């Protein structure tokens, strides 16, 4: 089944308006493209990189994108006089096999950080199967970075209403969930309590492993309460061409990622925070973990230990946790049987109206009306519509 990005057209438009990101990509494309070359626009959205590749002289461009927004590309290509050079593949790139490999592959599959869904696996597959020997991969490399930060305003969501509120209620049971939730940030340099340290270098020309496990030492440069660990990336799209979403740089669509402390430590200049950062891809999303301790700058004593994870931000019922075990034994239900019967009636000749009426007749208690039966059919079959 194709899983779409979840972006809307307006969001893609914001990416085009995002500088210096867009200008850097444009210049990298301009340098990489040679007359008549083949380009793959990976995770194309509605295909702005594909259009630019044609403008710069590419002979053939393949735009690959599972999201319906890719349907906008051909009308735009016609308007820009390059429809004859563009091929649209509405699918994930790992299922695409080209007639000829590409000279250039361009993509921007990032979130607040450059570890995003199956980005690494997608780039690795494209590099190995879709890129011609000696071809150009854009982006080239990203460096993931971290620093200690103070931001009372952003941290408010981890404190209020859980530890204090205007209604005299004890809501403290929810505070740990809020404090293990990653936050999107746009912080300035004044929020930094330490110099940044590199967590990982993701070189797209060689990367294989999607997960990151890194330990850094962050030294407080001034006194203050540390509200969390700020993570961002410095992007190198091509040699000498890059941008960053670091504090102090122009605000980009990505933002930064704040991993809050459940109990923010008060630091003095010279105190050190030993922080281990892990990003593990689970299904299609990353699970972030951050743990460590504060080392007193004068005595060397350890204090304020922390062990946190975005997994702890979720309220999970015992039933759901048990169902996720590989030892769980699924039990049949009427809902399963309805779905099974629905799928069994998909024969290439029966329309959804006929399937809905048959299900309504078989399951009058669960599907008492035609509308309920049709909604059930449309919802289930919609999950396979793009397969």
As a whole-number percent, the residues of the chain with pLDDT over 70 amount to 95
Q: With cut-offs at 50, 70 and 90, classify the pLDDT of residue 171.
A: very high
Q: CA of 61: how far to CAs of 65, 88, 256, 276, 319, in Å? A: 13, 9, 32, 42, 49
The torsion defined by the Cα of 130, 134, 135 and 141, in degrees rounded to 10, comes to 100
Shared-domain flag, residues 200 and 257: yes
Among candidate residues 204, 374, 229, the one with its CA nearest the CA of residue 292 = 229
Q: Which residues contact 150 (CB under 8 A, 6 or more apart)?
A: 191, 193, 224, 225, 226, 227
Q: Are 272 and 294 in contact (CB under 8 A)?
A: yes
Q: Which residues contact 265 (CB under 8 A, 6 or more apart)?
A: 225, 226, 273, 294, 303, 304
Answer yes or no: is 94 within a domain. Answer: yes
What pLDDT is stored for residue 55 in this prediction?
98
Q: Which of 89, 108, 127 is the last residue of a domain?
A: 108
Q: Which DSSP letter does residue 93 get?
A: G
Q: Which of 291, 318, 345 is the last residue of a domain?
A: 318
Shared-domain flag, residues 273 and 162: yes
Shared-domain flag, residues 218 and 253: yes
Answer yes or no: is 314 within a domain. Answer: yes
Q: Which of 318, 342, 360 is the last residue of a domain?
A: 318
CATH number for position 147: 2.70.160.11
Answer yes or no: is 120 within a domain. Answer: no
Whether residue 4 is predicted with pLDDT greater than 60 in this model: the reply is no
Answer yes or no: is 119 within a domain. Answer: no
Domain enclosing residue 344, as ranges: 334-382
What pLDDT is stored for residue 249 in this prediction?
97
Shared-domain flag, residues 30 and 146: no
Q: Rounded mean pLDDT of 258-274?
A: 98
Shared-domain flag, residues 313 and 356: no
Shared-domain flag, residues 310 and 345: no
Shared-domain flag, residues 72 and 164: no
Bridge-based pairing of strands 228-238 and 241-244 is: antiparallel
Q: Are 114 and 144 in contact (CB under 8 A)?
A: yes
Shared-domain flag, residues 89 and 27: yes
Whether residue 173 is predicted with pLDDT greater than 50 in this model: the reply is yes
Q: Are 20 and 250 in contact (CB under 8 A)?
A: yes
**How far is Cα 291 from Cα 40, in angstroms, rounded to an integer?**
40
Answer yes or no: is 130 within a domain. Answer: no
Q: What angle do CA 247, 250, 254 make, to 5 degrees?
A: 75
CATH number for position 78: 3.40.50.150
Structural domain total, the chain: 3
Answer yes or no: is 387 within a domain. Answer: no
Q: Are 234 and 147 in contact (CB under 8 A)?
A: no
Shared-domain flag, residues 153 and 272: yes
Among candidate residues 386, 383, 285, the one with its CA nearest the CA of residue 68 = 386
What pLDDT is stored for residue 8 in this prediction?
77
Q: Rounded mean pLDDT of 309-337?
A: 80
Q: Rounded mean pLDDT of 372-384?
A: 91
What pLDDT is stored for residue 324 in this prediction?
59
The helix/strand/coil state of 198 is strand
What pLDDT is stored for residue 320 in this prediction?
64
Shared-domain flag, residues 53 and 192: no
């Amino acid at each position: 089944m194709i899983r779409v990005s979840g972006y809307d057209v307006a969001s893609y438009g914001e990416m085009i308006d995002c500088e210096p990101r867009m200008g850097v990509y444009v210049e990298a494309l301009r340098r990489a493209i040679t007359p008549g070359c083949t380009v793959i626009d990976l995770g194309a959205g509605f295909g702005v990189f594909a259009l630019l590749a044609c403008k710069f002289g590419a002979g053939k461009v393949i735009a690959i994108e599972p999201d319906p927004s890719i349907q906008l590309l051909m009308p735009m290509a016609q308007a820009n006089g390059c429809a004859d050079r563009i091929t649209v593949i509405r699918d994930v790139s790992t299922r695409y096999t080209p007639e000829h490999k590409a000279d250039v592959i361009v993509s921007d599959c990032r979130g607040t950080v450059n570890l995003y869904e199956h980005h690494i696996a997608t780039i690795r597959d494209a590099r190995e199967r879709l890129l011609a020997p000696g071809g150009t991969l854009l982006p080239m490399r990203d460096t993931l970075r971290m620093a200690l930060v103070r931001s009372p305003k952003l941290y408010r969501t981890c404190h209020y209403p859980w530890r204090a509120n205007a209604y005299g209620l004890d809501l403290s049971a929810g505070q740990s969930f809020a404090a293990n939730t990653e936050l999107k940030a746009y912080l300035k340099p004044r929020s930094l309590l330490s110099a940044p340290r590199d967590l990982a270098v993701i070189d797209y020309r060689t990367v294989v492993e999607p997960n990151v496990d890194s330990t850094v030492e962050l030294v407080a440069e001034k006194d203050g309460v540390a509200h969390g660990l700020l993570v961002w990336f410095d992007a190198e799209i091509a040699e000498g061409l890059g941008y960053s979403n670091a504090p102090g740089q122009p605000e980009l669509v990505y933002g930064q990622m704040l991993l809050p402390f459940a109990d923010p430590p008060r630091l003095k200049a010279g105190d050190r925070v030993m922080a281990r950062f892990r990003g593990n891809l689970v299904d299609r999303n990353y699970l972030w973990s951050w743990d460590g301790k504060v080392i007193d700058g004068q005595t060397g004593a350890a204090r304020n230990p922390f062990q946190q994870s975005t997994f702890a931000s979720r309220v999970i019922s015992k039933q759901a946790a048990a169902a996720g075990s590989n030892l769980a034994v699924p039990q049949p239900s009427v809902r399963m049987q309805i779905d099974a019967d629905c799928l069994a009636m998909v024969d290439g000749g029966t329309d959804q109206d006929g399937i809905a009426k048959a299900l309504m007749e078989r399951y009058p208690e669960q599907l008492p009306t035609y509308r309920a039966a049709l909604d059930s059919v449309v919802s289930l079959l919609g999950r396979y519509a793009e397969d």
